[in-house]
Amino acid sequence: MGFIGMGKQNQGLLNHFMRLKDSEAVAVCDVDTNRRKQARERVEKHVGAQQASGHFKGCEDYNDYQDLLARSDIDAVCIATPDHWHALMSVHAAKAKKDIYCEKPLCQSIKEARRMVQAVRTHKRVFQTGSMQRSSEEFRVACELVRNGIIGPITRVEVAVGGPAKPCDLPEEAMEPGLDWDRWLGPAPKRPYNSTLSPRGVHNHYPAWRNYREYGGGGVTDWGAHHFDIAQWGLGMDQEGPRRILPSQNPESGHGVRMIYQNGVEMIHSDGNGVTFHGKEGKIQVNRGKFAFWLGEKQIASDRKQCKEVEQTYLADAKVRLYRSSDHKQDFLDCVRKRTRPIADVEIGARTVTICHLVNLSYYHGQPMQWNARREQFLQGKGQAEWLDVDHRAPYQWTSSKG
pLDDT at 402 over 90: no
Residues 269 and 123 in one domain: no
Percentage, residues of the chain above pLDDT 90: 94
pLDDT at 381: 80
Domain that holds residue 313: 133-164+220-323+345-388
Residues 224 and 364 in one domain: yes
Residues 41 and 91 in one domain: yes
Within-domain flag for 155: yes
Mean pLDDT to the nearest integer, 10-29: 96
- Please state the domain count of the chain: 2
Within-domain flag for 92: yes
- Predicted confidence band of residue 7 (pLDDT cuts 50, 70, 90): very high
Within-domain flag for 249: yes
Mean pLDDT to the nearest integer, 140-169: 99
pLDDT at 127 over 80: yes
Q: How far is CA 200 from the centre of its chain?
A: 24
For 56-86, the pLDDT digits (tens) are 778 999 999 999 999 999 999 999 999 999 9
Residues 105 and 227 in one domain: no
